[in-house]
Amino acid sequence: MHVKAALQRINGKLELSETKTDRSRRPLPLLDFVVKSLRHHRVRQHEERLIAGSGWRDSGFVFTTRIGTPVDPANLLDDFKRILEKVELPNIRFRDLRHSATSLLLALNIHPRVVMELLGHAQISLTMEIYSHVVPGLLRDAVDKLGVALNGI
């Protein structure tokens, strides 16, 4: 997947705009199950296109309304909140998904530089400042690994 632009509301209208930083425009690898899900989504979207007929507006977006227009971020957030409530999960911000994924990557000992690249941060210090709460567990793990290495000498 390639991040190329941002969709935001400007003067009451949804418009494509530049990403916050140059580093935000980047390729992102996708997991196989995500690619499979996107392929299923494309089939469903094609069916919606047929149903909409001449009312379909080809916006070029992957996720659209039933007539092809971009999904309003406010509606996406409402759907997200309904899903959380339905499956009895805590009420979190949509952005917390990004924070959770990042914390998991760091807890899995993925190198912070790789995490920085995935997030599109310009500097590793920003990544580590925001996600420093994950570091104490990583420090324990690092010291344990050092102990194993030193005991093997």
Q: 105 and 149: one domain?
A: yes
Domain closes at, from 75, 92, 109: 92
Residues of the chain above pLDDT 70, percent: 97
Q: 76 and 102: one domain?
A: no
Q: What is the domain range of residue 6?
A: 1-30
Q: 88 and 99: one domain?
A: no
The residue that leads in pLDDT, 137 or 141, is 141
- Work out whether the CA dihedral 63, 66, 68, 69 comes out positive or negative: negative
Q: 45 and 84: one domain?
A: yes
pLDDT digits (tens, 9 = 90+) for 93-136: 998 998 888 888 888 888 889 999 888 888 888 888 887 776 66
How far apart are the C-alpha atoms of 119 and 44, rounded to whole Å? 29
Q: 66 and 101: one domain?
A: no
How far apart are the C-alpha atoms of 71 and 66, rounded to whole Å? 9
117 CB-side CA count, 13 A:
8
Rg (CA), the chain: 20
Total of domains in the chain: 3
Q: 102 and 134: one domain?
A: yes
Of 65-79, 81-95, 116-130, the one with minimum mean pLDDT is 116-130
Q: In the predicted model, is pLDDT for residue 16 greater than 70?
A: yes
Relative to beta strand 6-10, strand 13-17 is: antiparallel
